[in-house]
């Protein structure tokens, strides 16, 4: 009989998916109100049952000597899919294999190469295994987020963000100050002194109910404010976290 998973298990999965490297058992224990030992035991059981299958770094290969990352869409007979997936994972350059429940395009492979010649060599080796590469697309960006249903449900914890790419890495966005945000009830001067937002980030406008506030050092942010921001280097996760619960 399959083991049932309660809210503690789900919160462990949520936090480890969010940031496994910097999340400790005591961190999760404080959040859910149990001992760190309980969390460690739960993590061990989740690992032993195969729910947690590993911990992996999310690598931007394109930043390492301009490597190329491609998604290969392959097809194979259903009866051969699992065997070929295991064999394909051993081909040098293949870093991820997904089995898809469909007739055509039922194997998705993430492939890394230093140039197009490397990617073509991987495709050739896959063909020798009997895998037909139906489509190949260069990946530009990939992101991961934890499953929201396993996270905090007492309140909306993360604002929805409208991003605008300007030029180069410059970016602007509008974010809502959520309940529990460390920015709430603090002036922009206090926020700057505490280092809650990056130095290069500018607060352009604050919308509160039916009025727009021109930001000054003495301007305070309140829960529910919609804040327009600009950063010449892009808006990172730490900025989104600052607006979040």
Q: What is the pLDDT of residue 234?
A: 86
CA–CA dist 17, 144 (Å, integer)? 8
Q: What is the mean pLDDT of the chain?
A: 89
- For the chain, state the CA radius of gyration: 23
Structure-model confidence comparison of residues 120 and 3, the more confident one = 120
Structure-model confidence comparison of residues 162 and 21, the more confident one = 21
Q: What is the pLDDT of residue 160?
A: 61
Q: What is the dihedral sign for C-alpha 223, 209, 220, 183?
A: positive
- The CA–CA distances, whole Å, from 84 to 90, 118, 131 equal 10, 20, 8
pLDDT digits over 47-75, tens only?
999 999 999 998 999 989 999 999 999 98
Q: What is the pLDDT of residue 238?
A: 85
Q: What is the pLDDT of residue 158?
A: 59
Paired residues of 220 in beta bridges = 187
Structure-model confidence comparison of residues 128 and 143, the more confident one = 128
- The CA–CA distances, whole Å, from 237 to 17, 26, 42, 156, 193 equal 15, 23, 28, 17, 20
Domains of the chain: 7-48 (1.10.10), 61-138 (3.30.70.920), 154-243 (3.30.70.1450)
Q: What is the pLDDT of residue 233?
A: 86
Q: What is the pLDDT of residue 162?
A: 72
Residue 155 has pLDDT above 50, yes or no: no
CA–CA dist 109, 95 (Å, integer)? 8
Residue 14 has pLDDT above 80, yes or no: yes
* DSSP tally for the chain: helices H, then strands E: 7, 11
Instruction: Provide the 10 A C-beta neighbour count for residue 234.
Output: 17
Q: What is the pLDDT of residue 153?
A: 59
Q: What is the pLDDT of residue 217?
A: 92
CA–CA dist 122, 128 (Å, integer)? 10
CB distance 93 to 121 below 8 Å: yes
- Measured in whole angstroms, the distance separating CA 204 from the mean position of its chain's CA atoms is 27
Q: What is the pLDDT of residue 23?
A: 93
Structure-model confidence comparison of residues 165 and 200, the more confident one = 200
Q: What is the pLDDT of residue 163?
A: 72
Q: Could you give the residue ranges of the DSSP H alpha helices within 113-213? A: 116-129, 188-194
pLDDT digits over 185-233, tens only?
999 999 999 999 999 899 999 999 888 999 999 999 999 899 999 998 8
Q: What is the pLDDT of residue 168?
A: 72
Confidence of residue 154 (pLDDT cuts 50, 70, 90): very low
The answer to whether the pTM exceeds 0.75 is: no
Residue 89 has pLDDT above 80, yes or no: yes
Q: What percent of the chain has pLDDT over 90?
A: 60
């Amino acid at each position: 009989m399959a083991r049932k998973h309660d809210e503690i298990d789900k919160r462990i999965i949520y936090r480890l998916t969010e940031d496994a490297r910097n999340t400790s058992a005591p961190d999760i224990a404080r959040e859910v109100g149990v001992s760190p030992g309980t969390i460690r035991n739960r993590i061990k059981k989740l690992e032993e049952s195969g729910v947690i299958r590993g911990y992996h770094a999310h690598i931007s290969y394109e930043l390492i000597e301009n490597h190329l990352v491609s998604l290969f869409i392959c097809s194979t007979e259903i009866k051969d899919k699992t065997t070929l997936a295991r064999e394909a994972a051993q081909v040098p350059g293949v870093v991820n294999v997904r089995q898809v429940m469909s007739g055509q395009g039922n194997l998705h492979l993430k492939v890394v190469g230093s140039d197009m010649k490397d990617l073509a060599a991987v495709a050739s080796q896959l063909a020798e295994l009997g895998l037909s590469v139906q489509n190949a697309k260069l990946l530009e960006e990939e992101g991961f987020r934890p499953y929201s249903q396993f996270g905090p449900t007492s309140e909306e914890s993360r604002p929805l963000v409208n991003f605008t790419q300007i030029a180069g890495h410059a970016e602007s966005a509008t974010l809502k100050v959520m309940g529990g945000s460390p920015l709430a009830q603090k002036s922009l001067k206090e926020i700057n002194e505490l280092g809650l937002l990056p130095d290069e980030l500018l607060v352009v406008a604050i919308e509160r109910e039916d009025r727009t506030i021109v930001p000054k050092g003495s301007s305070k942010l309140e829960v529910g404010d919609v804040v327009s921001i600009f950063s010449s280097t892009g808006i990172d996760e730490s900025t989104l976290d600052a607006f979040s619960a």
